[in-house]
């Protein structure tokens, strides 16, 4: 079987795109790669892309000059985990608290990693995880 190399895009669906864009840019410091009235895309570490779609705004197929992107959408609170360096976790915790973002939970994993869990304005569960969470990370 051919090998998959990485997950390059992850998508969340939001009720207010401007509010979500402001949160991810301002609170998490993510660089905006692209944005329009339907969606926006953020760079994650120069290797991955986080897509935010206006909920219900991508149900229909979208024609592009290069082909058609099939329609998609999602409901309910979803989860995305972000990799962070172990020596930056405390700074992240301080940054989140300074921006009024409540940390819901902190988990210390048996492999040595630590995760901080918090929510975005749409209720999606976000995680900052240090190495040692998984055998592959």
User: pLDDT confidence of 131, banded at 50, 70, 90?
Assistant: very high
Q: Distance (Å, rounded) from C-alpha 73 to C-alpha 56?
A: 6
Q: Are residues 94 and 62 in the same domain?
A: no
Residue 4's pLDDT is 84
Instruction: Tell me what pLDDT residue 24 has.
Output: 98
**Lookup: tokens for 69:** 């992107």
Question: What is d(CA 11, CA 3) in angstroms, rounded to the nearest whole number?
Answer: 22
CATH of the domain at 26: 3.10.180.10
List the domain range (segments joined by +) for residue 124: 76-137
69 and 48 share one domain? yes
Q: Is the Cβ–Cβ distance between 67 and 73 less than 8 Å?
A: no
Nearest Cα residue to 16 out of 37, 47, 33, 41:
37
Q: Are residues 88 and 135 in the same domain?
A: yes
Pair (57, 3) in one structural domain: yes
Query: What tokens does 36 get?
Result: 């329009």
- pTM equals 0.94
Same domain for 57 and 83? no
Last residue of a domain, one of 48, 74, 100: 74
pLDDT in tens, 17-40: 999 999 999 999 999 999 999 999
Which of 32, 50, 74 marks a domain boundary? 74
- Contact between 21 and 40 under an 8 Å Cβ cutoff? The reply is yes
Is the pLDDT at 107 greater than 90? The verdict is: yes
Number of domains in the chain: 2
- Per-residue pLDDT tens digits for 69-105: 999 999 999 999 999 999 999 999 999 999 999 999 9
92 and 61 in one domain?
no
């Amino acid at each position: 079987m051919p090998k998959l190399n990485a997950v390059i895009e992850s998508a969340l669906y939001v009720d207010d795109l401007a509010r979500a864009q402001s949160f991810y840019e301002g609170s998490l410091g993510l660089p905006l790669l692209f944005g329009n009235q339907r969606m926006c895309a953020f760079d994650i570490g120069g290797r991955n892309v986080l897509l935010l779609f206006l909920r219900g705004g991508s149900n229909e197929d979208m024609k592009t000059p290069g082909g058609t992107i099939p329609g998609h959408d999602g409901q309910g609170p979803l989860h995305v985990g972000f990799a962070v360096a172990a020596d930056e976790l405390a700074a992240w915790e301080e940054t989140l608290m300074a921006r009024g973002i409540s940390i819901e939970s902190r988990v210390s994993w048996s492999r040595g990693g630590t995760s901080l869990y918090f929510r975005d304005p749409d209720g999606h569960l976000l995680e900052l995880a240090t190495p040692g969470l998984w055998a592959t990370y």
